[in-house]
Amino acid sequence: MELRVERNSDVDSWKEVVLIYNSALKQISVKLEILNDEFQHVHRYNPIEHIKSRIKTSESIVKKLKRYGYESTIENMVKYVNDIAGIRVICSFTSDIYEIAEMIRGQSDIRVIAVKDYIVKPKPSGYRSYHMLVTVPVYLSDRIVDTKVEIQIRTVAMDFWASLEHKIHYKFEGNAPDYIKEELIECARMSSELDERMLSLNKEVHSIGEKKRA
């Protein structure tokens, strides 16, 4: 069950909606921190470098609704905008991404609604990341609200590229010159190659360590 907001319902103000989304972000952040700590305890390794979270601004949500052709109401915000609450998980290696995704799927109170793997199939711009749309129950004093959260899992290299691409997108209002777009695509290719080489190097280091212990 998704978070439902209707006129004259209990959840009838934007501030309360933000409270609910913030609560959902806190829950998932704590879950990820616990899983990371457990991974360190069992495997002596932390797959998660750091976690970022944010609530989309009302201005950004209104712009998105306009693009979708919907009226700017709280009900439509909650129903049609899936990334109001977003959490970004940054890790070292591409293998960590899928490990973290499996750990999230294994949580009994998190329901995965949709997955978009932009690592296997990058966007034309070169963007790579792993997206999960999930719901998590937020326990209020008088009810339980299943709340949507978008989780983005990416490597440090992917995050660096995405950050630069985001700045360029806003600098040129989504209409950057072709030569800049082409350079970004080339940088994405180099970033992907770096991820592959770093993963291969990490595997080699682990292999040497295991041979020494044998």
Catalytic residues: 150
CA distance 193 to 122: 13
CA distance 119 to 158: 9
CB 164 within 8 A of CB 147: no
Crossing angle, helix 94-105 and helix 14-43, to 10 degrees? Answer: 110
Burial of 199 (0-12, 13-18, 19+ CB in 10 A): middle
Q: How far out from the chain centre does Cα 207 lie?
A: 31
Q: Which H or E element spans position 148? A: strand 144-155
Phi, psi of 109 (to 5 degrees): -100, 10
What's the Rg (C-alpha) of the chain? 20
Q: HSE-up of 153 (CA within 13 Å, CB side)?
A: 26
For residue 26, count other CB atoms closer than 10 A to its CB: 14
